Structure 1
Amino acid sequence: MSPAPESDAQASSKTDLSFITGRDGPAPDPIALRAYRLTRLRAELRARDHAGLVVYDPINIRYATGATNMQVWALHNAVRYAFVSTDGPVVVFDFHGGLHLSNGIEIIDEVRPALSWFYFIAGEHGPARATLWAQEIAELLRAHGGGNRRLAIDKCDPLGADALRREGIEIFDGQEVCEQARLIKSPDELIAMRRALAVAEEGMAKMRAVLSPGMTENELWSHLHQINIARGGEWIETRLLASGRRTNPWFQECSDKPIAAGELVSFDTDLIGPDGLCADISRSFLCGEVAATVEQKRLYGLAREQIETNIALLRPGLRFSELAERSWRLPESCKPNRYSVIAHGVGLCDEYPHCGYVEDNDRGGGYDGVFSPGMTICIESYIGEEGGAEGVKLEEQLLITESGIERLSRFPYEETLMPSRWL
């Protein structure tokens, strides 16, 4: 007797995930990585004739110095910062009790206690403390700026900006400096990114394996977090996982809703993994041992078509505006729910560039630039019709090479959800 035909669900359960194991590979060389990043930053400072840079964003501090401390907490509490002289020392100003955390980092020349002046720490003494802070920064500029008073800074509240100007310092955008420096990845950064992707995809495989009717969205999401932390990862930037009708429109965060058999589960990893590199991959699963509906396959097929069409356009030398103009066109029914970007950069987090839909140019978007070798890019798709029952989220992470692109993300698509033309 010949075997019975496999159902879609049975076929999907045999999707090969063996590539997940053994992908950690070599670790990046931290000394080479730090030297590359500092060189990139200083080149951007010189190109703009800035004497130095002050960074408060923990991601920029890490890029500039290699030093980390309570990364997420410091994102909303300005308790540590760093000064990078264009032609002088790198000075880390760290939170109380944390000065030893920079021990052994060869590019850091000095560590000082931070002088915090935001309200939680300083209360009514904020203006006076901001004045003292600005005087210390001005002292560093006088000592190492060669008379140049042009300072880039990535984040600065009004008290600090006013205090710096009273010291005769010209203030410029430090975020531009940092984003442009972070744009081209070194070989060691790519090693670290591959490790982060390996962790993310191991977590995704765990999610796929445990997904079953009745579990909540939060419970499913927790498995990605657990794998990330267990493998040395750091945090996850969003809570973008939804099931069933909560997948449309997008950007609904995961909840205590039980996931039902036959529902789509769509998610975006936004994962900060080992070495602080981001793995930004999106997938949609089908819950339970059931066959996908015709409509679910149609939506999934459209999302896959958008991803593959836009990846095929990417190449070194392509302009951001060209990608936007030539990109796959959304069906009219999906335009109101379109995602925020077609493509974006990725590194220590989502980064420059932001390549939006041409429909959004009149809202101040649509800046231009060139895709260059060494850039790492995410191609995005969300397909969900206005008023529709469900939506599909897919995303791939890519490297721009000298000859084209390399797909860094490797998690397979769901056979049970793909229309026959993709099988």
Structure 2
Amino acid sequence: DEILAMRRAIVACEAAMGEMEQALKPGISENELWAELHRGNIARGGEWIETRLLTSGPRTNPWFQECSSRKIEAGDLVAFDTDLIGPYGFCADLSRTWLCGDANPSNEQRALFRIAADQIEHNMALMQPGISFRALVEASAVPPGDCFPTRYGVLYHGVGLADEYPTLPHASDWTSDTPDGVLEPGMVLCVESYIGRLGGREGVKLEEQILITETGNEQLSTYPLDTRLLG
């Protein structure tokens, strides 16, 4: 069963994420931390990872910078996107943002995180069987004005053996080439948020993997959010 195989991939991914979080200490490099996700995936029978999307501190804004040799500092945000091909060849595509060290987050870090978490929560609730792709996008929460220029490229995308159909952008980015269709039971999509102010120091990346069911949806990803950043 494909959904069972995907659940297994997510379990492996989230176990590796837990090992990453345990390894996150001031002084570890982005590359060293990212290696923990690779190690944990391979150790559990996973296959490979599509990207190198882990950044810290000022490298979290704008998004889509690859992980580097930068040493992570206490008080930094650390944001990552797993893009992981796990056991049985199925994709576990989750994003989290953590706070490094024992210090309390800044008000700005909490504010960015809250915007992202609220966007994910709102948009996840819209993911119901029968809603059209266009209606879903048009009803979706989007980043506020000072964060909109740095927005993530899509609000939702399909996921299976990798990132797959459909790819659903913000309503303002919808074009004649954007696919339209309907959410149907059995489909799995990821819901995305990146929140970083234009010219700001840091940004927050969150993403959940969602199964469309006969009566609504089920959140397949379960790794907890950083409660310090939730405020």
Q: TM-score range by the shorter chain?
A: over 0.9
Aligned length: 231
Kept in 1: contact 2:142–2:148 (CA 8 A): no
**Where does residue 339 of structure 1 map in the other structure?**
152
Q: Which of 266, 269, 289 is the aligned partner of 2:82?
A: 269
Is the CA contact 1:244–1:259 (under 8 Å) kept in the aligned structure 2?
Answer: yes
The answer for the alignment partner of 1:198 in structure 2 is 11
Match of 1:235 in 2: 48
For residues 125-176 of structure 1, the C-alpha deviation after alignment (integer angstroms, 9 at most, x for no partner) is xxxxxxxxxxxxxxxxxxxxxxxxxxxxxxxxxxxxxxxxxxxxxxxxxxxx
The reply on whether 1:258 has 2:71 as its aligned counterpart is yes
Residue 127 of structure 2 aligns to which amino acid in structure 1?
L
Amino acid at match of 2:133: F
Deviation for aligned residue 1:330: 1.7
The aligned counterpart of 2:178 is: 366
- Give the aligned partner of residue 165 of structure 2: 352
Identity %: 57
Paired AA for residue 130 in structure 2: G
Q: Is the 8 A contact 2:142 2:170 kept in 1?
A: no
Partner of 1:399: 211
Q: Secondary structure at the match of 1:392?
A: strand
Structure 1 residue 365 displacement after superposition: 4.8
Amino acid paired to 1:341: V
What do residues 255-300 of structure 1 show as CA deviations (whole Å, max 9, x unaligned)? Answer: 0000000000000000000110000000000001110000000000
Contact 1:360–1:366 at 8 Å: present in 2 too?
A: no
Q: Alpha-carbon deviations, 1:364-411, whole Å to 9, x = none?
A: 553311000000010000001110100000000010000000010000
Instruction: Note the C-alpha offset of 1:361.
Output: 2.0
Alpha-carbon deviation of 1:335? 0.9
After superposition, the Cα gap between the structure-2 partners of 1:365 and 1:340, relative to the gap in structure 1 and judged at 3 Å, is farther
**CA separation of 1:365 and 1:296: change in aligned 2, threshold 3 A:** farther
Between the aligned partners of 2:47 and 2:54, the Cα distance in structure 1 is: 19
Relative to its length, the structure with more helix (as a share) is 1
- Considering Cα pairs closer than 8 Å and 6+ residues apart, tell me whether 1 or 2 has the greater RCO: 2
Consecutive unaligned residues of structure 1, counting only runs of 5 or more, are: 1-187
Q: Distance in 1 between matches of 2:88 and 2:65?
A: 29
- The 2-side partners of 1:361 and 1:190 are apart by 30
Q: Which aligned pairs between 1:46-57 and structure 2 lie closer than 5 A? A: none
Match of 1:384 in 2: 196
Counterparts of 1:318 and 1:404 in 2: how far apart (Å)?
Answer: 11
TM-score (norm 1): 0.54
Structure 2 residue ranges without an equivalent (≥5): none
Q: Which amino acid aligns with 1:323?
A: L
**Partner Cα separation in structure 1 for residue 38 and residue 142 of structure 2:** 34
SS in 2 for 1:352: strand
1:358 CA drift (Å): 1.3
Residue 309 (structure 1) aligned with residue 135 (structure 2): no
Q: Aligned to 2:146, what secondary structure does the other structure show?
A: helix
Question: Residue 315 of structure 1: SS of its match in structure 2?
Answer: coil
2:106 to 266, 279, 293: 293
- Please say which structure displays the higher CA radius of gyration: 1
Runs of 4+ with >4 A deviation: none
One-letter code of the match for 1:369?
G
SS in 1 for 2:174: helix
Letter in 1 for 2:139: R
Distance 1:266 1:345 in 2: 21
Supply the AA of the counterpart residue of 1:342.
Answer: L
**Whole-Å separation in 1 of the counterparts to 2:177 and 2:107:** 36
Q: 2:143 aligns with which of 312, 321, 330?
A: 330
Q: Which amino acid aligns with 1:198?
A: V
